[in-house]
């Protein structure tokens, strides 16, 4: 199994605008379970700490294998999400790690 975690800073000059951006991220990933082969877990969470260096939203996913994660990166549903969210994000961080 491989875990794929992505964190974003999103656009918004007010807490309300940032919240709208976070909702867009959440809505974009909603419903991918069963659509992406090998994707077994998906969570989207919004930061509640409000610490200035924290990211605004996190995507936590688990894939059956590295091959499944690689396939996800080029899957049409994922590519659509990347296009939809391109204008929303201002920074992106990613970590992938294997669990035995």
Task: Give the model's pLDDT for residue 98.
Answer: 97
The mean of the pLDDT values for the chain is 95
- DSSP letter for 54, please: S
Cα→Cα distances 85→1, 24, 82, 99, Å: 27, 8, 5, 29
Q: What's the token pair of residue 59?
A: 């995507």
Q: pLDDT tens digit string along 25-72?
A: 999 999 898 999 999 999 999 999 989 899 999 999 999 999 999 999
Give 97's strand partners: 3
Over range 77-84, report the average pLDDT.
Answer: 96
Q: Tell me what pLDDT residue 50 has.
A: 86
Residue 93 belongs to a domain with what CATH number?
Answer: 3.30.70.100
As a whole number, mean pLDDT of residues 70-76 equals 97
Q: Which domain holds residue 29?
A: 2-98
Number of structural domains (the chain) is 1
């Amino acid at each position: 199994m491989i875990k794929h975690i992505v964190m974003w800073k999103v656009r918004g000059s007010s807490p309300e605008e940032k919240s709208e951006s976070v909702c867009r991220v959440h809505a974009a990933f909603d419903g991918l379970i069963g659509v992406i082969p090998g994707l077994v877990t998906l969570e989207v969470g919004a930061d509640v700490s409000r610490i200035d260096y924290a990211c605004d939203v996190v995507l936590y996913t688990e894939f059956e294998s590295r091959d499944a994660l690689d396939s996800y990166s080029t899957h049409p549903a994922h590519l659509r999400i990347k296009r939809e969210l391109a204008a929303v994000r201002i920074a992106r961080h990613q970590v992938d790690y294997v669990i035995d």
